[in-house]
Amino acid sequence: MATTEEIRSELAEIVNEVTGIPVDDVQLDKSFTDDLDVDSLSMVEVVVAAEEKFSVRIPDDAVKDLKTVGDAVSYIEKAQAAA
Amino acid sequence: MTADARELGQTETLRHSAVLGLGHHRASRVVPNSEIVDAIDSSDEWIQQRSGIIERRWATPEETVQMMSVSAAREALEDAGIQPGQLDCVIVATVSHLMQTPSVATAVAHELGSTAAAFDISAACAGFCHGIALASDLVRAGSATHVLVVGVERLSDITDPTDRGTAFIFADGAGAAVVGPSDVAGIGPVVWGSDGEQYDLIRQREDWRDVVASPSPRMPHLVMQGREVFRWAAFTMAKIADETLARTGITTEDLDVFVPHQANMRITDAMVRAMKLPDHVTVARDIAHQGNASAASVPLALRQLVLDGEAHSGDLALLIAFGAGLSYAAQVIRVP
C-alpha cells in the first residue's frame, strides 16, 4: 500500500504534467482552484490520469468535493483500501 | 445461404479508394468573443482559456446549409479534377438542416448539376468521418466511382446565445471531400461506434412536438453537459485514435497530420497528451478562429492545413470525429 507521501508525490507529477505547476507546489493543504489555479477541465484531466495511475474510480460526483490536494490524496487512499 | 441457378450479378472485386480533393466554405461573419460575452456574463479571457476560441464564424442569412454545401463541394470537385456529372453519390452530414425532409443532399446534387444518389446522414459532429467511411466502401465495392461527402452546419440557428455552456462554442461552415478509386490505398479502415448510454450529454433540448405544444414556442436549442463530454472526448477518444492507428498498421511516428474534431482546444490538447503525439505531427487547431462547426469541423481544418502549406499531398492524416449520440468515427487518409 502506497504511503500518503507517495500518493501526494505521484499526484503532484500528474498535476505538473497537465498544468505545468511545479511539483513542489502541490502540497496537501493547497486548494486546486484557489491556490493552484487548476480549472474544472484540468481537474478532469488530473482525475482521469489519477484513476489510471492508482487503479481507482473517482466519479464526477466525488470530484466536486475534492477541494484540496489532501482531499484527493485521502480519497485515493480510501478507494485503494476498499478495492 | 445456399446457391441456386439464379446468380445475382456482382460488381468487380474490391479496389482501393482515396480522397481525391477537398473544399471548404467558412461562414463569412467573423464573431469575436467580445460580441457574445454580455449575454453569458463572461469574458474574452475566460472563453479563450476554456476553449481556445478567439473568434468564430457565423453564417449570414444568404449562407444557408445548401449554399455553403454547394460552395464547399465546388471547391472539392475542382481540387479533385472531377465534374459534377461524374458523381455517383452525394452524402451530406448535418444536424442543422432544419427541413425534416427531403434531404439537403438532393438539392445540393441538383444545384451542382448531378442526378447522383443523394442522402443526408445524422451522426452529429462525427458525421463527416462516417461519410468518408461510407464513401470509401461504396467506391471500394463498386457501388459508386466518385462520391461527394459534405459536412455542413449552421449551428448558430440552434445555439442559445444565453447558454454559458454552449453559446461561445458553436459555429457555421461547410467542408467537402471527393472520394474515388485509387491505385494505392488512400483511406484506411474506419474505427467507429456509439455509446447510447450517454444519449443525453449533447442533444436538442426538446422534441419538435413539445415545441409546438408550448404556449411560447422557441427554437429547441442544443444543450450539452460539458464536463462529462470533456472526459469522454479527451480520453476515450484518445484510445480510439490509438486503435485506429493500430488497425491501419501505422504508429504515431508514421503520422504527419492529426485532425481531431474541433470541439474545444482543451480536448485537442488533452488528446495530444494522452496519445503522446510526437512533435513532428502537425495538429489541427482550426477552432481558434472558426469555433466548433460540428460535422464541418474536420474538413474545414484539414483544408486549411493544406492551404497554409502545413499538410502536403501524400501526408498521412488521422481524422477522428466525435459528438452527440454519443457517436464517433476515425480513419487515416492520405492527403490529396
Q: Which helix (H) or strand (E) holds B204?
A: strand B202-204
Answer whether B270 sits within 8 Å of A39, measured CB to CB: no
pLDDT the model gives residue B253: 96
Which of B177, B188, B193 lies closest to B239 in space, CA to CA?
A: B193
Please report the ipTM that was assigned to this predicted complex: 0.74
Give the mean pLDDT of B5-33.
Answer: 91
Q: Cell 459532429 maps to which residue?
A: B125
Domain's final residue, options B138, B156, B182: B182
Question: Do residues B86 and B213 both lie within one domain?
Answer: no
B154 with B237, same domain: the answer is no
Q: What is the mean pLDDT of chain B?
A: 95
Q: Is residue B7 part of a domain?
A: no
Task: Tell me the CA distances in angstroms from B149 to B82, B135, B273, one per residue in order.
Answer: 13, 7, 30
Phi-psi label, residue B122: left if phi above 0, alpha if psi -120 to 50, beta otherwise: beta
Check which CATH number belongs to the domain holding B46 and give it: 3.40.47.10
Q: Residue A60 is nearest to which of B49, B227, B266, comparing CB atoms? A: B227
User: Does residue B36 fall inside a structural domain?
Assistant: yes
Q: Flag whether B21 is in a domain.
A: yes
**What is the DSSP-derived secondary structure letter of residue B263?**
S
Smallest CA–CA separation between A3 and chain B, in Å? 27
Read off the CATH number of the domain in which A39 is found.
1.10.1200.10
Domain region containing A45: 4-82
* B182-216 residue pLDDT tens: 999 999 999 999 999 999 999 999 999 999 999 99
Which residues touch B221 (CB under 8 Å, ≥6 apart)? B158, B159, B160, B163, B166, B204, B205
Q: Which of B51, B264, B266 should one mutate to test binding to chain A, selecting the residue with the greatest count of A CBs within 10 A?
A: B266
Q: How many domains is chain A built from?
A: 1
| Domain assignment of residue B319, yes or no | yes
Q: What percent of chain A is modeled with pLDDT above 70?
A: 99
Cell numbers found for residue B268? 485537442
Same structural domain for residues B233 and B270? yes
Phi-psi region of B216 (alpha: psi -120 to 50; beta: other; left: phi over 0): beta
Across B147-172, average pLDDT: 96
Contact call for residues B247 and B214 (beta carbons, < 8 A): no
Question: B69: which 3 cell numbers?
Answer: 454545401
The answer on B68 and B120 residing in a single domain is yes
Q: What percent of chain B has pLDDT over 70?
A: 100
Q: Are B117 and B90 in contact (CB under 8 A)?
A: yes
Write out the residue range of the structural domain in which residue B152 sits.
16-182
Query: What pLDDT sits at residue B135?
Result: 98
Residues B147 and B196 in one domain: no
Q: Which of B247, B80, B195 is nearest to B149 (CA)?
A: B80
Strands B257-260 vs B316-323: parallel, antiparallel or unpaired: parallel
pLDDT of residue A1: 67
Indicate if B125 belongs to the active site: yes
Burial label for A55, CB within 10 Å (0-12, 13-18, 19+), is exposed
Number of domains, chain B: 2
Cα gap B76→B16, rounded to integer Å: 20
Which residue among A17, A41, A48 sits closest to B266, beta carbon to beta carbon?
A41
B322 falls within a domain: yes
**pLDDT tens-digit profile of B160-175?**
999 998 999 999 999 9
On whether both B177 and B253 belong to a single domain, the answer is: no
Catalytic residue among B24, B125, B221, B264: B125
Among B49, B228, B270, select the one facing A45 at the smallest CB separation.
B270
> What contacts B244, CB < 8 A, 6 or more positions away?
B188, B189, B191, B318, B320, B330, B331, B332
Question: Closest Cα of chain A to B228: distance in Å?
Answer: 8
| Other Cβ atoms within 10 Å of B10 Cβ, number | 8
Question: Which of residues B158, B182, B206 is at a domain's end?
Answer: B182
At B145 the three-state DSSP class reads: coil
Question: Which of these three, B182, B205, B222, is where a domain ends?
Answer: B182
Does residue B4 sit within a domain? no
Kindly list the residues of chain B whose beta carbon comes within 8 Å of any beta carbon in chain A: 49-50, 227-228, 230-231, 234-235, 266, 270, 273
- Say if the Cβ atoms of B273 and A18 lie within 8 Å: yes
